[in-house]
């Protein structure tokens, strides 16, 4: 099927039950009826503040836990119905995650060579006629790192941006088709973020990698992604083409997110009362967004907004 | 400009770290001043030496770090000549520091009030009741319900913890606050809230701020002047307006060019 999406998330819900010391247990609706599609070689941004459910959504797609309701299809096949371990392994191979902290996911006692050679061998990713060494070089070149310099370095000898490139390289070495990048640039200097976004963009266009890009920064979403889903409280409040959402956000929460992005050309109003007013406004938007149970409405082709 | 308008004056500051390969000079002869009531931004990439300067100003360096040259004058006093006793009394009351990831460094086993009371008591000798009054006043000031004083840090959101850290820095009404990446770990909306809060407090009380960040856009929204740092040196200092509209040093231009912005077409190289 030509227009079968690479990833399809259908009505996914997930509730965590937290045991609290004082009041027994508390339910956290981390995901509520999440649906979207993502075509092969395309990218979707999941944008929202911390606690909105972005990572839970990413981890659900990576098959890291069982969802309560709904279904997730990768390449047309449900990951929840992957019964035997071979199918599960194949899913796990195709869908890779890259995390926020570029250090935490690398083993400090192993070189770059080890981090990449292991998945290449383990997943039999060295084709006939090639050698492990050639594949190592190729993988590093894919993430724009100099193989000669890099292969024998340890993680602590690398900058944050280089570590994140190694994490992307490792996902490629495993054979990722879909990379879930969970705030991959938020711990990096602003001045390095763009180069990592550009790299992901090249992996997408040149290598056909599909991306789910998780961020709290609406401004960077349009670098990489065709579509953006703005999340709050476990739900999608707005969905549509990234350009349109950045140019003209419709939901009050999307508007708040966008207006909060630092803009060098706007001096901030230092009036003391204004500071308080901004916080009150932000809180009101959050409260009202959380309270609304309205469904998503299509306001233009491909653009959906939840009534505030 | 008269000398007395300068609250802080740094001349030729040099800081070394002793490493296995010998001394590493992290700050290489930095000159910098901050006027009374001024917000000075210090911007540069990770590792350029911003935190090292912040620690030097507070005299917080311990071996393997050494201040090996220069002078630090704050409110007319030679900070490098202070003994430990003078320093202990001087920190917080004259200059306080909100250090990087301070919100994660709150003591997890003490309530917000207990941590607050300890600092207040140590510096003023006042009792718990007086500390409570001051703590409630400050919670109000930073926009947190004073009832939350009896919470433990983990019961507060990241933004609230950062407000608590701000309140702590204000306890003794210092004349300058050094803020080392105070919003870096926060979501954009919370970051904006905290920035507004800092700007509001600064305008209300008029203290000076040394505001450290790697985010030049954020800095331009708020600082009066900006110093650009590269590998231990200040390469350009100018008004925020000039740094934005008329950057002189190549590195400043590079920093601007590297920033993600709304205006760019998708995936520009
Ligand atoms: N393993 C877990 N156990 C309990 N609650 C969780 C767990 N993971 C996430 N949550 C809760 O689910 C909500 C969504 O979290 P998360 O997906 O991490 O959000 P985000 O990535 O947008 O910050 C939050 O309220 C969070 O506290
Ligand atoms: N304890 C230390 N020992 C050795 N080198 C250090 C130490 N702390 C910092 N450095 C080095 O000093 C330089 C400046 O660091 P820092 O002041 O933390 O930079 P910034 O705050 O701008 O990121 C870096 O090259 C860093 O590696
Ligand atoms: Mg997350
Ligand atoms: Mg620092």
Instruction: Confirm whether A1 is domain-assigned.
Output: no
Query: pLDDT tens for residues B204-226?
Result: 999 999 999 999 999 999 999 99
The residues with which B88 forms a beta bridge, in sequence order, are none
The total number of structural domains in chain A stands at 1
Average pLDDT over residues A269-282: 89
Beta bridge partners of B209: B39, B177
DSSP string, A55-85: HHHHHHHTTSS--SEEEEEETTEESTT--SH
- pLDDT score of B2: 53
Cβ neighbour number for residue B65 with a 10 Å cutoff: 18
Is there a contact between B221 and A260 if contact means CB atoms under 8 Å apart?
no
Q: What pLDDT score was predicted for residue A1?
A: 47
Q: Does ipTM top 0.85?
A: yes
- Judged against a pLDDT cut of 80, whether residue A57 lies above it is answered with yes
Which residues, at least 6 apart from A58, have a Cβ–Cβ distance to it below 8 Å?
A46, A97, A180, A182, A212, A214
Predicted confidence pLDDT, tens digits, chain B (269 residues): 555 699 999 999 999 999 988 999 999 999 999 999 999 999 999 999 999 999 999 999 989 999 999 999 999 999 999 999 999 999 999 999 998 777 788 899 999 999 999 989 999 999 999 999 999 999 999 999 999 999 999 999 888 999 999 999 999 999 999 999 998 878 899 999 999 999 999 999 999 999 999 999 999 999 999 999 999 999 999 999 999 999 999 999 999 988 877 655 443 33
Is A190–B244 a contact, with Cβ atoms under 8 angstroms apart?
A: no
C-beta B47 within 6 A of ligand 2: yes
Strands, sheet with A95-98, edge to edge from the N-terminal-most edge strand: A95-98, A178-182, A210-215, A43-47, A227-232, A235-241, A303-306, A296-300
Tell me the mean pLDDT in the region A121-138: 92
pLDDT of residue B185: 79
Distance from CA of B156 to the nearest CA of A (A): 13
Domain with A131 in it: what CATH number? 3.40.50.300
Neighbours of B34 (CB within 10 A): 24
In-domain check, residue A2: no
Cβ within 8 Å, pair B202-A159: no
Mean pLDDT of A209-232: 93
Q: Whose CA is nearest to atom 5 of ligand 1?
A: A16
pTM metric for this prediction: 0.91
A264 with B244: Cβ contact below 8 A: yes
Q: Cα(A10) to centroid of ligand 1, in Å?
A: 20
Supply angle C-alpha B189, A26, B187, rounded to 5. 10
pLDDT at position B263, please? Answer: 59
- DSSP for B48-71 reads SSHHHHHHHHTT---TTEEEEEEE
φ, ψ of residue A159 to 5 degrees: the values are -80, 165
- Indicate whether A25 belongs to any domain: yes
High-pLDDT (> 70) share of chain A, %:
98
- Cβ contacts (< 8 Å) between B192 and chain A: which residues? 259-260, 262, 278, 282
Q: Whose CA is nearest to atom 1 of ligand 1?
A: A16
Owning domain of residue A89: 7-306
Residue in A232, A260, A269 to test binding to B, most B beta-carbons within 10 Å: A260
């Amino acid at each position: 099927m030509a227009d079968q999406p690479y990833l399809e998330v259908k009505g996914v819900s997930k509730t965590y039950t937290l045991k609290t010391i004082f009041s027994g247990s508390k339910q956290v609706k981390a995901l509520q009826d999440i649906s979207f599609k993502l075509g092969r070689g395309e990218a979707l941004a999941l944008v929202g503040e911390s606690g909105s459910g972005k990572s839970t959504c990413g981890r659900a797609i990576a098959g890291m836990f069982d969802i309560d309701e709904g279904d997730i299809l990768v390449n047309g096949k449900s990951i929840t119905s992957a019964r035997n371990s071979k199918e599960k392994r194949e899913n796990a191979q195709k869908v890779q995650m890259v995390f926020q902290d570029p250090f935490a996911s690398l083993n400090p006692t192993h070189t770059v060579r080890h981090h990449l050679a292991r998945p290449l061998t383990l997943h039999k990713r060295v084709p006939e006629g090639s050698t492990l060494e050639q594949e190592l070089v190729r993988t590093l070149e894919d993430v724009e790192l100099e193989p000669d310099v890099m292969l024998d370095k340890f993680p602590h000898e690398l900058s944050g941006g280089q570590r994140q490139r190694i994490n992307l390289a490792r996902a490629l070495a495993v054979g990722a088709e879909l990379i879930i990048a969970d705030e991959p640039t938020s711990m990096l200097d602003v001045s390095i973020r763009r180069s990592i976004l550009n790299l992901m963009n090249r992996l997408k266009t040149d290598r056909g990698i599909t991306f789910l890009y998780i961020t709290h920064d609406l401004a960077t979403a349009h670098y990489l992604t065709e579509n953006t889903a703005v999340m709050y409280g476990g739900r999608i409040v707005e969905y549509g083409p990234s350009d349109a959402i950045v140019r003209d956000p419709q939901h009050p929460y999307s508007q708040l997110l966008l207006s909060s992005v630092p803009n060098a050309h706007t001096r901030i109003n230092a009036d003391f009362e204004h500071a308080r007013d901004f916080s009150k406004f932000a809180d009101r938007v959050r409260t009202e967004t959380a309270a609304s149970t309205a469904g998503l409405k299509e306001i233009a082709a491909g653009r959906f907004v939840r009534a505030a | 400009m008269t000398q007395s308008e300068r609250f802080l004056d740094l001349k030729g500051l040099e800081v070394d770290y002793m490493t296995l390969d010998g001394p590493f000079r992290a700050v290489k002869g930095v000159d910098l001043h901050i006027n009374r009531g001024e917000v000075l931004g210090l911007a540069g990439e990770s590792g350029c030496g911003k935190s090292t300067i912040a620690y030097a100003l507070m005299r917080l360096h311990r071996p393997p770090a050494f201040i090996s040259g220069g002078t630090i004058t704050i409110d007319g006093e030679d900070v490098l000549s202070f003994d430990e006793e003078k320093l202990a009394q001087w920190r917080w009351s004259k200059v306080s520091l909100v250090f990087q990831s301070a919100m994660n460094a709150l003591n997890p086993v003490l309530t917000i009030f207990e941590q607050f009371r300890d600092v207040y008591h140590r510096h003023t000798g006042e009792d718990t009741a007086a500390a409570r009054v001051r703590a409630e006043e400050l919670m109000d000031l930073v926009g947190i319900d004073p009832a939350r004083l009896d919470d433990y840090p983990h019961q507060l959101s990241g933004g609230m913890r950062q407000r608590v850290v701000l309140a702590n820095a204000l306890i003794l009404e210092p004349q300058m606050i050094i803020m080392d990446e105070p919003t870096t770990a926060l979501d954009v909306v919370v970051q904006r809230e905290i920035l507004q809060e800092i700007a509001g407090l600064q305008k209300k009380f008029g203290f000076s701020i040394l505001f450290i960040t790697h985010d030049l856009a954020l800095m331009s929204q708020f600082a009066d002047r900006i110093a650009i740092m590269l590998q231990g040196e200040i390469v350009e200092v100018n008004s925020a307006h000039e740094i934005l509209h008329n950057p002189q040093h190549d590195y400043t231009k590079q920093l601007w060019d590297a920033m993600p912005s709304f205006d760019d077409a998708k995936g520009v190289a």
